[in-house]
A and B are shown apart, each in its own frame.
Chain A
Amino acid sequence: MTQAIRIENLHKAYRSTVAVEDVSFEVSKGEIFGVVGPNGAGKTTSIECIEGLRQGDRGHISVLGLDPQSQSRELRQRVGVQLQQSALPARIKVWEALDLYASFYDCVVDRQRLLERLDLAEKSEASFAKLSGGQKQRLFIALALLNDPDLVFLDELTTGLDPQSRRSMWDLVLEIRDQGKTVLLTTHFMEEAERLCDRLAIMDHGRIVALDSPSNLIQKFGSESRITFSTEESCSSALEGIRGIGKLIRQGDRMVVQGHGDQLIGDVVNALTTNGISFRDLRTEQSNLEDVFLTLTGKEIRD
């Protein structure tokens, strides 16, 4: 079996609000799969149905070959969970939390090494309430990794963290995947999804609107790329006729070239050099997942 998770036609509504509508996807073993979308898109509801914390109204879910509802205890021995909104008792110490959670699992990893890897060894005696946001998040990851899980769920792992802590979280997630574990994460940061995910599903209004690797999504749905450079010479005639070329805009001594296609940059540079046009400071701006999201949903993801 190469699939860690298989979801078919998941539906979930809260009273009259439909949170998740006809969601299907598969997560392969050993990959980082991301569910991305704006707040309220149905990401957390989906992931919590997969974790077995919620029950979908319709649809079928299989996680590591198990049913998250009827085989929840067996499943929870083998998965690690970091929830979007959860806490530990304010006065519990870091080591006590690990000690307590270790007692729930049949087999656990070496706790001291885990604390060291997550840079929490010095905080062992600190109580939960005294930890910083990043430290709390690292403790939740420690709890999620305590049972050496095959599959790790990370729900909005970096929300509320400063950019530096966010980047160190990213390294951690890649490290988890490199140990052979499967990761299912949700995020509303497109940069995070682009950096971490092998494949991702973009969700909006409870539905998946696109599913592929970040680079394929950008290729398929990304808008034009832009090439800018400085030159005093006129170059419009040299560039016209290049395949995929779009608008040419002159802004003082800066030229802005818009267009499509993988060969665009090469062709532009080639045309400039063969025509003997000197240029400086050439930059390209690729479209990213933000642009993909904008194209797919017609709105910005920022909350």
Chain B
Amino acid sequence: MRGLSKLTWTELKLFLREPMAAFFTLAFPLMLLFLFGGIYGNRPAAIFGGLGMVDVSVPAYTAMIIGSSGLLSLGIAIASYRETGVLKRLKATPIRPQTILAAQVAVIYVMTILGMGLLIVAGRLVYGLRFGGNALSVFVAFTASAMCVFSLGFVLASLAPTARAAQVAGMVIFYPMIFLSGATIPRETLPEAVRQYSRLLPLTHVVTLLRGLWAGGSWNNYVMEISVLAGTAIVAVLISIKTFRWE
């Protein structure tokens, strides 16, 4: 336990020293919030079922943070630790291999929570963000979604031969995914054909689930989303277990 908490704490400090990762997780979502909040404000609109632009954007941007954390930060971090030999050196100590990976997940999870927290605080203070759901429900859905997308990050880290490859693959998946899933631009504004296609993307279901529960929806309405995310996570974990390499 001492090893896990020390490793997690050290990795947190290292994460914050890495400008790119910290930017995408903490600063970029806030910039989007202020950009679109500045343009559209947060007046209730029919297209969003009586909610404002900011009200639907905060849970959507949260999904975007989950995506960048899992598909970019986590995958690249693990792939580069493997490529340079950081993982191998850690493995030569008495610490359990699972602990090494758990610390990575813990750090990314904490940073994702922090990113979401900043969005909520800024949305509340600047745009009077409305929240109609159950905080615990939203947090549970957030955590489950995060673990699902993080497991995809593990697949990237497992399959990519180098950190560079993990970065390229992560970006190729991440950028179309955040625009098509509704994590940046609300899906209501996308053409129907694109919306059909976007159902294939796991992040689409994260956005739907978070926005729904945020607005006060019931878990029962999201069985399909939960099943897709759970199935994705199971497949991703199985692939990672089969293919993960320490060096």
* Contact assessment for B18 and A53 in the assembled complex, using a CB-CB cutoff below 8 Å: no
User: A11-19, A94-102, A165-173: which one contacts chain B?
Assistant: A94-102
- Across-interface contacts of A105 in B (CB, < 8 A): 93-94
> Which among A76, A86, A91, A99 has the greatest number of chain B C-beta atoms within 10 A?
A86
Q: Is A81 an interface residue (CB 8 A)?
A: yes
Total contacts A-B at CB 8 Å: 60
* A106 to B, closest residue via Cβ: B94
**Contact of B92 with A53 in the complex, beta carbons under 8 Å:** yes
- Chain A interface residue count, Cβ-Cβ cutoff 8 angstroms: 24
Taking CB atoms, residues of chain B closer than 8 Å to A73 are: 94, 96
**Which chain B residues border A96 with CB–CB below 8 Å?**
10, 13
Q: Does B242 contact A (CB under 8 A)?
A: no
Given that A87-B85, A99-B6 are known contacts, is A77 also in contact with B17, CB under 8 Å in the complex? no
Interface residue? A83 (CB, 8 A): yes
Expressed in whole angstroms, the minimum distance between the Cβ of A100 and any Cβ of chain B is: 5
B14 within 8 A of A: yes
Contacts of B81 in A (CB 8 A): 89
The reply to whether the CB of B201 lies closer than 8 angstroms to some CB of chain A is: no
A141 to chain B, nearest CB (A): 13
A67 to chain B, nearest CB (A): 15
User: How far is A99 from B6 in the complex, measured between Cα atoms in Å?
Assistant: 8
Do the beta carbons of B2 and A86 come within 8 Å of each other?
no
Cβ distance B205 to chain A, nearest Cβ, rounded Å:
34
Is residue B165 contacting chain A, with contact meaning CB distance below 8 A?
no
Which residue in chain A gives the minimum CB-CB distance to B87? A86
5 nearest A-B residue pairs (beta carbon)? A86-B85, A103-B6, A86-B89, A87-B84, A81-B92
| Residues of B near any A CB (own CB < 8 A) | 2-3, 6-7, 10, 13-14, 17-18, 81, 84-86, 88-89, 91-96
Hey, which bits of chain A sit against chain B, CB under 8 A? 51, 53, 73-74, 76-77, 81, 83, 85-89, 91-92, 96, 99-101, 103-105, 140, 143
- Given A86-B88, A89-B81, 18 extra CB contacts under 8 A: A53-B88, A73-B94, A74-B94, A76-B94, A81-B93, A83-B92, A85-B85, A86-B86, A86-B89, A86-B92, A87-B84, A88-B89, A91-B18, A96-B13, A100-B6, A100-B7, A103-B3, A103-B6
